[in-house]
Amino acid sequence: MPARESVLLVWPAGGELKAYRGRCPHVDMPLSDATFNGQTVTCPHHQWGFDGASGKCVTHLVRNALHPYEIRVLGDEIQVDVGPIKPARAGASPPSNPG
Ligand code: FES
C-alpha cells in the first residue's frame, strides 16, 4: 500500500510560498479544512492559529509549530521534500511465495 503524506501550502501576504505537514501540531488532526487569512492558518478543530510564514503558534503560549518542509519551485512545478515516508501499515504487504 503506498504511503500518503498531506502537505499544506500557504503563501503569506508579502512573503514566500511555504509548505508544511498537513497535520495540526496540537493533537495531530488533519489541516485539510484549515482557513488562511493571508497571515494566519487556523486549525478547524480547536481554532489554534499558526503564523503562515514561520509556522509558530500565535494563539497559545506553546511551542507547537507547523512542521516545515523544504520547497522548490521549478517552472510551473512545486516540489516538496517531505523526507522519508513510512509505510502506511507495517507488514501490510502480502507474504512472499518463494516456490
Ligand atoms: S487539532 Fe488543531 S487546534 Fe487542536
Summarised one tens digit per residue, pLDDT across range 11-57 is 999 999 999 999 999 999 999 999 999 999 999 999 999 999 999 99
Q: Which three cell numbers stand for residue 69?
A: 518542509
99: confidence class by pLDDT, cuts 50, 70, 90: very low
Cβ(26) to ligand 1 under 6 A? yes
Q: Which CATH number is correct for 7-79, 3.40.50.2020, 1.20.1440.80, 3.40.50.300, 2.102.10.10?
A: 2.102.10.10
Kindly give the number of the ligand 1 atom that is closest to the alpha carbon of 29.
1
- Is the pLDDT reported for residue 86 higher than 90? no
Provide the whole-model pTM.
Answer: 0.82
Q: Domain residue spans in the chain?
A: 7-79
Cβ(62) to ligand 1 under 6 A? no
Pocket test for ligand 1, best of 33, 35, 45, 66 (most atoms within 8 A of CB): 45
Cβ(31) to ligand 1 under 6 A? no
Percent of the chain past pLDDT 90, that is, above it, reads 78
User: How many CA atoms, within 13 angstroms, populate the side-chain half-sphere of residue 54?
Assistant: 8
* CA separation for the pair 49, 6 (Å, rounded): 19
